[in-house]
Structure 1
Amino acid sequence: MKKRGFGRDKLNGFGGKVEANETIAKGAERELAEESGLVTKSIKQCGLLLFYFENDLVAMEVHVFLVDRYEGAAVETDEMRPQWFGIRDMPFELMWADDSHWWPYVLKGQKFVGQFWFKADQVTFTRHTLRAVDSLDFA
């Protein structure tokens, strides 16, 4: 449960901004540790999403990672209150509206890319694109 800032009061994945001289994966590992106390032993990127919000000229680029091995015990932080759910029992009604659309790709082990256009309320999206890809290496 996100406790403050963007996405407050929604169940959300751990994450945040990448710091200077940090790869996106290292940023994801750092954010996971800072927000939950967990240290990943295996992290794999599985998705790339772009979010557009009405009345905001800047798109939000979100890299989705899957962690299947970690050390430590999840703890509540100033930012998040971790909760566990079965991978097939996600409470989508408490999450961002897009999550239920890309989660099936995660369950199938597919990499994916997508775009979602949200209204200013940050709840409703008006359109989206989403597809499986063979690789997330766009270099």
Structure 2
Amino acid sequence: MASEEGQDVKAYTSQDYTLVFCRRPSQTPTASKQILLGMKKRGFGVGKWNGFGGKIEEGESVEQAARRELLEESGVIANSLQRIGYLVFKLTDIAKIMHVHVFQTFEFTNEAVETEEMLPQWYAEDSIPYTNMWMDDAYWLPLLLEHKQFIGRFEYEDEDTIVDYSIREVGRL
């Protein structure tokens, strides 16, 4: 690593990812709307609740990757997808930049099933387990729940520490 004014300069890797949230109306007149989250069972983010997604493979569009990852991680087929957000994460401890394309769907088939990577569970939208999720989710997920499009940037010092962020609602992505 080169040194600039006495500080190490890291070479960051950068990659595009998708993240999909399935949502459904309340099941009874008194119940809340629901969102499908998955508990990550292995790899990056293990032990955290999140949406379903992953890397975009060569030759895939962002939407194709979102559909594929949702199916692979939950068994759910998205009949339609709405692009709702775009997030950039700078992970300084592992020198990585992640560009995340966030989608939601209300139209899908198949019941969610456990896979090698994720354990799916429906949550009432007013009972989301933010304390067991990535810290940044509390900043932008409420915008998604209100159907507001957003752009955000988060810098993590390590997996549990946000050192800087910005989030803003946008009229269109």
Report TM bin, short chain.
Answer: over 0.9
**Unaligned segments of structure 2, at least 5 residues:** 1-38
Equivalent residue runs for 1:1-40 within 5 Å: 1-40=39-78
Rounded Cα–Cα distance in structure 2 between residues aligned with 1:108 and 1:77: 29
Letter in 1 for 2:87: L
Distance in 1 (alpha carbons) for counterparts of 2:118 and 2:168: 30
Which residue pairs with 1:59 in the alignment?
Answer: 97
Identify the match of residue 144 of structure 2 among 102, 106, 110.
Answer: 106
Please tell me the root mean square deviation across aligned C-alpha atoms, in Å. 1.0
Report the Cα distance in structure 2 between the residues aligned to 1:20 and 1:124, rounded to whole angstroms.
32
Comparing 49-58 with 61-70, which one deviates more in the overlay?
49-58
Matched with 2:82 is 44
Structure 1 ranges of 4+ moved more than 6 A: none
1:5 partner amino acid: G
Deviations 1:11-64 (A, max 9, x none): 011101111111111100000000100001121110000001123433111111
* In 1, Cα distance between equivalents of 2:140 and 2:49: 15
Letter in 2 for 1:116: F
Q: Which runs of 5+ in 1 are unaligned?
A: none
Structure with larger Rg: 2
The whole-number CA distance in structure 1 between the counterparts of 2:50 and 2:125 is 14
Q: Using the alignment, how far apart are the partners of 1:130 and 1:92 within structure 2?
A: 17
AA aligned opposite 2:55: K
1-structure distance, mates of 2:105, 2:123: 14
Q: Which structure's residues are more often strand, by fraction?
A: 2
Query: Does residue 163 of structure 2 align to residue 119 of structure 1?
Result: no
The separation in 1 between residues aligned to 2:102 and 2:172, in whole angstroms, is 13
For the pair 1:95 / 2:133, whether they are aligned, the reply is yes
Aligned pair count reads 135
Which stretch of structure 1 is more off in the superposition, 56-65 or 41-50?
A: 56-65
CA distance in 1, matches of 2:93, 2:131: 25
State the distance in 2 between where 1:79 and 1:56 align.
Answer: 22
Q: TM-score, normalised by structure 1?
A: 0.93
d(CA) in 1 for partners of 2:148, 2:167: 12
Identity %: 42
Deviations 1:83-125 (A, max 9, x none): 11012221100100000110121122111000001112x1110
